[in-house]
Each structure stands twice: as C-alpha cells, then as structure tokens.
Structure 1
C-alpha cells in the first residue's frame, strides 16, 4: 500500500519532535541529530522533519510506494500528465536508499515519488553517489538535469539559499 509523504524543514528540531510526538501520540520511528521520521498508520503517512540549513516550511510532498513496479506506474502517470519527470536512481537521502521520481506541480510545489530499498547511515551520500545535479536540493524540478560526468556540486547536501 502506498503512503503519503510530507517533509518539513524546521528551525528547532527538538521542539518539532516534541510537538509532532504529542500531535501523533507517537515517538519518531527514526531519530537522528538533524532528522526525525514518523511512519504513521492512522493516517497512513511518512512524516519527516529536518534541520539541515533550509528555510523552515514545507520542503516537499510525496508518495512512498512499496515496490519498483509501483514507482514505474507512477512514472507513467506523471509522464502522461505532461510534467517534467526527473529520475534519481539509487539515491541516498534522508537516511535511506531509494529510487525516486521528482516533479513540480503547476504551483511549483516539489513532489517526490519514491521506493525505499534500505536504510543509510547518513542524511545524504554526497556528490559521488547522486543521480542528478541536485534533485533533493534544487527548488525547481525543471532546473534539474542528469548528473554530469564529472560532478561539480553536492546533490543532496543542504545548499545555502537553495530553497
């Protein structure tokens, strides 16, 4: 079953953890020095917050799918909708290994459709492992391009003023 995903940037991670733990009546399923995630069943949502240097507020929305086939189906739907779809395969971001599809809705809200394949020990992999020039960091999906042959910037690391 698919799961709705919300990722918020927060100014104070500990205050955010206290607030959302009370709101959801549950502690985070994942807790790191700069990140927390709740995998809720009611409502079924993957809700994450982070304090990685970006402006507080909604970072992106998304749909987490359970299988590669479901991700491929979403890719066909997104392509049929006529939006720019930017794939990011084998990404390490948010302490997870995932295959992703990034889009931007007509209002400019970033959406991430993804299939998580495992846990990671870091928030992001750094430039060598990134599939694009900044899918997790670029505020505008249309500006994303496939990773250059010689990486010049970190993909998933927070970029000052990027968002």
Structure 2
C-alpha cells in the first residue's frame, strides 16, 4: 500500500519535532541535525520536516510507493495527465536512496512520487535546485 508524503520546511527543528511528536503521539523514526521523519500508520503518512533555509511551510507533497513497480504505475499516470515530469533514478535525498518522478500540478503544487530502497549518510546529492522547463518541477533533492 502506498503512503502519503508531506515535506514541511520549518524554522525551528527542535520545537517542530516536539510539536509533531505530541500531535501524532510518536517520536520520529529518523532524526538528523537538519531533518526529521515520521513513518505513521494512523494516518498512513510519511511526514518529513527540515530546516534547510527554505521558506517555512509545505515544501511539497507526494506519494511513497512500496515497490518499483508501484512507482512506475504512478509515474505513468503522471505522464498521462499531460504535465511535464522529471525522473530520477538511484538518487540520494532526505538521508535515503530512492527512485523518483516529480511533477508540478496545474496550480503549481510540487508532487514527488518515489520508491525508497536504502538509507544514506547525508541529506542528498543535489544541494541547490536546478531550474527546468517552466511547467516542470524543480529538479533537486526534495524539490
């Protein structure tokens, strides 16, 4: 079963960890100096927060696929929707190794669909966003 993903940029990581831990009644599964992640079953969500210098608020939303095949099916639907997608294979992002497909919806909301297959020791490969076509998502780690 796939899992909803939300990534929120925060101003104060420690305070935000306390807030979300209390809200969900659970401690994060991953905590780093600039990042925390909850893998919750109720609600079924992958909630990530980070303090990496971006404006505070929802950075992007997404769907975490359980398998590479599920990711391929989601990515095919994104392509069929007619929006420009950006695919990444074997990328490092958010302290994990993943295959991804990014898209920006017609209202400008960035969506990340991904399948994670391993852990990483650093945040990601792409530290600075790289602009792509005007209707395409920004191609970088988590945005």
| TM > 0.5 | yes
Q: Distance in 2 between matches of 1:31 and 1:3?
A: 20
On the 8 A contact 1:110/1:141 being kept in 2, the answer is: no
Runs of 4+ in 1 over 4 A off after TM superposition: none
Paired position in structure 2 for 1:142: 136
For normalisation by structure 2, the TM-score amounts to: 0.91
Q: Alignment partner of 1:142: what SS?
A: coil
- Could you tell me which runs of 5 or more consecutive residues in structure 1 were left unpaired when the two chains were aligned: 128-132, 146-154, 158-162
Q: How far 1:76 moved relative to its partner? A: 1.1
On the 8 A contact 2:10/2:16 being kept in 1, the answer is: yes
Give the structure with the larger strand fraction.
2
On the 8 A contact 1:38/1:48 being kept in 2, the answer is: yes
Alignment coverage as a number of residue pairs: 142
On the 8 A contact 2:102/2:137 being kept in 1, the answer is: no
- Could you tell me which runs of 5 or more consecutive residues in structure 2 were left unpaired when the two chains were aligned: none
Q: How far 1:134 moved relative to its partner? A: 3.7
Mapping 1:75-114, distance limit 5 Å: 75-114=75-114
> Once superposed, what is the RMSD of the aligned Cα atoms?
2.3
Is 1:57 matched up with 2:57?
yes
For normalisation by structure 1, the TM-score amounts to: 0.80
Paired position in structure 1 for 2:69: 69
